Amino acid sequence: MKNLDEKYMKECFKLALKGQNKTTPNPIVGCVVLNKNGKVVSKGYHKRYGEYHAERNALLKLKNNEAEGGTLYVNLEPCSHYGKTPPCVDIILEHKIKRVVIGMRDVNPEVNGIKKLEEAGIEVTCGVLKEEAEHLNRVFIKNMTKKLPYVVLKTATTMDGKISTKTGDSKWITSEVARAEVYKMRKDFDCIMTSSNTVIADNPSMVHKFKCILDKNSRIPKNSKIFEQGEIYVATKDNTPLKDGYLDLKSVLENLFNRGIYTVFVECGGTLAGALLKENLIDEVYQFIAPKILNDNSGKSCFNGNNILKISEARPLKIYSTKMFGDDILLKYKVL
Residues identified as active-site? 55
Enumerate the β-bridge partners of residue 333: 285, 319
**Cα–Cα dist 62/110, whole Å:** 28
Any alpha helices (H) in 220-287, and if so which ranges? 249-258, 270-278
Query: Are 238 and 232 spatial neighbours (Cβ–Cβ below 8 Å)?
Result: no
In a 3-state reduction of DSSP, which class is residue 218? coil
Query: Are 13 and 75 spatial neighbours (Cβ–Cβ below 8 Å)?
Result: yes
The per-residue b/e assignment along 233-244, b for 16 or more CB within 10 angstroms, e otherwise, is: bbbbeeebeeee
**DSSP letters of 5-62?**
HHHHHHHHHHHHGGGTTTSTTSPP-EEEEE-TTS-EEEEEE--STTS--HHHHHHTT-
Query: Are 186 and 259 spatial neighbours (Cβ–Cβ below 8 Å)?
Result: no
Phi-psi map region of 26: left, alpha, beta (phi>0 left; psi -120 to 50 alpha): beta
The sign of the torsion formed by the CA atoms of 117, 71, 75, 87 equals: negative
The per-residue b/e assignment along 315-332, b for 16 or more CB within 10 angstroms, e otherwise, is: bebeeeeeeebbebbbeb
Largest CA distance in the chain: 72
Query: Are 91 and 59 spatial neighbours (Cβ–Cβ below 8 Å)?
Result: yes
